[in-house]
Amino acid sequence: MMFQRTGGVDCVIYFSLPNPWEPIYCCMADRAENHRQLLNSLEEAAVLLDRDGIVYHSNSMFRSLIGNQKPESRSLKELLPAIPEQWLHTSLESDEVSAFVFHSPVVGCSLLASVLPGDQYRILMIWKKEEELPSMVQLQNLIPFGILLLDTNGNILKCNPAGRKLLDLSSSGFTNLNRVWSQSRDRANRRRPQEHAPWSRALEQGKSIHVGPVSLAQSVLDIHCIPIQSESGQVLVVLQDMHREHRNQNRLRNALEINRSINSLLMDLLRVPGPEETIHRALRGALELIEADDCLMITEEDSGSRIAFVEGTLKDLVGQVNSVDPWEFDPALRKEGALLIRNMDALPQLVPGIKPGEYRGCLAASVLYEKNRRGLVLILRKASRFKSRERRILQLLVPALSAAIFKFRYEARLNLMATTDPLTGLFNRRRFFAVLESAVRDKTPPAILQMDLDLFKQINDSLGHQAGDRVLEVLAAELKSMETDGVTAARTGGEEFMILMRNEFASRYREISEELRKSVEQLEIEWDPEPIQFTLSIGATRYIPGEKLADFYARADKLLYQAKESGRNQSCFESVSIPGR
């Protein structure tokens, strides 16, 4: 172990572990993919570097530290120019663990960095030190291994804080490691003889001795003893806390399990039919992984926000509009990634309809909902508050939520293109007849208006197709103004339009047809050299229960033909009574 203090750097620590040991983090990460999974599971800011200092992968904590840049394929020296280049180069080339402190203008405070070696890649971990820089003794506390120097009688000459903690030397008062050894018991509950102590054997045999795991002073330790070749006959003892290793391994296993669950969720999202069900499946997946009660997606609107999707018990809140903009209400929500909402008293203002005190925990993550609209995912729990581990799970889920939103937008756009007329925005012929096929099964027989623009070809020929398109757009706007739950309009051909009327509107189809015809007659479009006026011919009829859909349509088409043959700009209806009316 070696400590250095040099100009330009506050303090530097180099320490290496005797072979065949490797740093615990690198023991668990022998492949690049495992390195990536390890970094994502760490609470500290960390990056994966090659020997040239190029970033291969970074976790969210590091990206947040440097201002949410994308560091991949960039040089670490470019991202943090204040890192002393000499020490960085030495650390990347060395097979030893190194740590150093430097001041970073990019972050605005001092940083403590540690490089952990691996076979192909290096892991750089960074701790932000906004408070006073640690002393040399405090810095030693970062070393997770107990290190002791013993004489030939087992007396402790030197010991770092980690060693005192692992052996409980402060409370026991022992200054001789042989006494600690003799007070412990083996697996058969027998006292351990002093001559079996590994440091005694190391001195006797003149070679390194490794034992473990060993229960010693209420700790489970891995012990490595290295005899120092000198006349004093000293031995260096390195202690590793096996509980710490098990915790780190469990943490990595949990991270791998979460990654598998997220990958499974992503595969599910690809198979889910329908754009809206994709969002619901993603929100259900978040609820299952984080074990929460409710999950909401709030979208940004022109005058506030709207609850777009809900999973859980709050489905009656879907569609609710709120004048409060969450990103203005709490600026912390503007940051990329997941965060814990600590001010639970403000939750009813973000989500009206939630009672104060109803939930104890809330997680939030901002996502891009549409090109210029943000989305906010809120995860709520009634029983307890969320912890940092669950925040990290949501952070890992953000790409899955973003993928679900992308799939939702993509499928919604495809559906829109397949069911609407691009010029007018009305339903196209395919979509209209699908709705009509459903309407004829209603208890109340529906009615349809089949319409044709009068002399539309003359408008195109005399004034141009731009004028014709403008006429179609103005007529479509007039039809859209009539649309409601029981009225559906569509463009079914070049200048042909249809309206479907259901329920109480169906009985007023004659009246509505004439009102529409007279309203269109009054329309006027500003155009050069003179304003454009146009009229409609309409054939209107009502469905006869039991008749074929083709017959229903043929009757309306025949009535439209009669209206055009009779001079145009009129509505035609059956002159005889139709059964079922």
Structure tokens at 389: 């581990």
Close Cβ partners of 278 (under 8 Å, ≥ 6 residues apart): 269, 272, 404, 407, 408, 411
**Which residues fall within 8 angstroms of residue 172, CB to CB, at 6 or more apart?**
180, 217
Show the tokens assigned to 153.
């009688």
β-strand pairing of 536-542 with 571-572: parallel
Edge-to-edge strand ranges of the sheet holding 321-322: 321-322, 304-311, 294-301, 373-381, 361-370, 337-340
Place of tokens 């949990």: 254
Helix (H, G, I), strand (E, B) or coil at 575: coil
What are the DSSP calls for 29-49, one per residue?
A: --SHHHHHHHHHH-SSEEEEE
* Torsion angle (degrees, nearest 10) of CA 285, 286, 288, 292: -150
Distance, in Å, from the CA atom of 140 to the CA atom of 562, rounded to the nearest integer, reads 97
Cβ neighbours of residue 429 closer than 8 Å, sequence gap 6 or more: 490, 491, 492, 493
CB burial of 144-173 (b: ≥16 within 10 Å; e: otherwise) equals ebbbbbbbeebebeebbbbbbbbbebeeee
Residue 496 annotated among the catalytic residues of the structure = no
The 3-class secondary structure across 219-267, one letter per residue, is: EEEEEEEEECCCCCCCEEEEEEEHHHHHHHHHHHHHHHHHHHHHHHHHH
CB 228 within 8 A of CB 236: yes
List 43, 495, 504, 524, catalytic entry: 495
Specify the DSSP class assigned to residue 508.
G
**CA-based radius of gyration for the chain:** 37
Instruction: Let me know how many helices (H) and strands (E) the chain has, helices first.
Output: 20, 23
**In this structure, what token pair is assigned to residue 578?**
């139709």
Strand 496-501 with 447-453, pairing: antiparallel
Instruction: Please count the other Cβ atoms lying within 10 Å of the Cβ belonging to residue 433.
Output: 17
Q: Rounded to the nearest 5 degrees, what angle is found at the Cα of 496, between the Cα atoms of 492 and 499?
A: 70
- From CA 550, how far away is CA 433, in angstroms rounded? 10
Contacts for 231-236: CB closer than 8 Å, 24+ residues apart: 232/151, 233/151, 233/152, 233/203, 234/149, 234/150, 234/151, 234/152, 234/157, 235/149, 235/150, 235/199, 235/202, 235/203, 236/147, 236/148, 236/149, 236/150
Angle at 22 between CA 16 and CA 25, to 5 degrees: 110
Are the CB atoms for 459 and 532 separated by under 8 Å?
Answer: yes
Rounded to 5°, the CA angle 437-440-445 comes to: 155
Q: Which residues are catalytic?
A: 495
